[in-house]
Amino acid sequence: MNPATAKLWAKQDQHEGDRRRLFTAVATALKAKTVLYPGSFVDIAPSFVFESVTYLDLDKRAARFFADTEGVAEIVAGNGGPARPDISFVHGDYALEHDLPEEHFDLLVSLYAGFVSEHCTHHTKIGGTLLVNPSHGDAAMASIDPRLSLTGVVLSRSGSYRIEREQLERFLIPKKEQEITVETLHASGRGIAYTTSPFAYLFTRVS
């Protein structure tokens, strides 16, 4: 393995196994095989549990990391994934046009990478899922997107994750009264503070 690959992964996995536990909990709750992860940087933990994952990032370090296919496969295999994982990497901006198929992926991942749902939901199957955390405003963006419906949340406690499917409306109550529109979210570029905030939300694509 290229030493730069090992170094990047060590930094990404500094809370050892945390993302593996997250994606294992999500994989257990969903019947998903194909995953699109825009703004992934070098977070290859989805490949530990999902059959086929497409990563997309504009950072050059991510491009170099994924170019080390043997090193990446070694990390995946060392974390319980397949020896020859089905991994693709697109080096680019998720807000621009790509050759990625429409309505194709079972799961779209949006973690700390801006308004992924706004630009990439069209690549998700109808009936597919968006996993999104609230920190960069993308969960709020998803909550006002008519293509998406909240169907679960991911709760975290002491480093473990579980999916909750009941009484979900309580997770989208803003702490302070405010207008939430595409424009206000773009203008602030930040997440909305909710009275009860889970680690992440699961939205189903309904149209």
Output the residue with the shortest Cβ distance to ligand SAM: 39
C-alpha span between 197 and 146 (Å, rounded) = 21
Q: Is 168 in the site for ligand SAM (CB under 6 A)?
A: no
The 10 Å Cβ neighbour count of residue 36 is 30
C-alpha span between 19 and 160 (Å, rounded) = 10
Contact by Cβ (8 Å): 122, 99: no
Among 93, 104, 155, 156, binds ligand SAM (CB under 6 A): 93
| Closer residue to ligand SAM, CB minimum distance, 38 or 85 | 38
Pick the piece of the chain touching ligand SAM (CB under 6 A) from 90-98, 139-147, 162-170, 185-193. Answer: 90-98
C-alpha span between 94 and 105 (Å, rounded) = 15
**Paired strand residues for 157:** 160
> Which residues in 128-167 contact ligand SAM (CB under 6 A)?
none
**At a CB cut-off of 8 Å and minimum separation 6, what does 45 contact?**
13, 19, 20, 22, 23, 79
Of 75, 73, 74, whose CA–CA distance to 85 is shortest? 73
| Closer residue to ligand SAM, CB minimum distance, 11 or 175 | 11
Q: Is 58 in the site for ligand SAM (CB under 6 A)?
A: yes
Among 112, 174, 190, 193, binds ligand SAM (CB under 6 A): 112
| Closer residue to ligand SAM, CB minimum distance, 19 or 205 | 19
Pick the piece of the chain touching ligand SAM (CB under 6 A) from 57-65, 137-145, 152-160, 173-181. Answer: 57-65
Q: Interior CA angle at 135 toward 132 and 137, to 5°?
A: 75
**At a CB cut-off of 8 Å and minimum separation 6, what does 17 contact?**
none
Pick the piece of the chain touching ligand SAM (CB under 6 A) from 36-44, 71-79, 147-155, 189-197. Answer: 36-44
Q: Is 41 in the site for ligand SAM (CB under 6 A)?
A: yes
Q: Is 68 in the site for ligand SAM (CB under 6 A)?
A: no
User: Where does this chain bind ligand SAM (CB under 6 A)?
Assistant: 38-41, 43, 56-59, 62, 93-95, 111-114
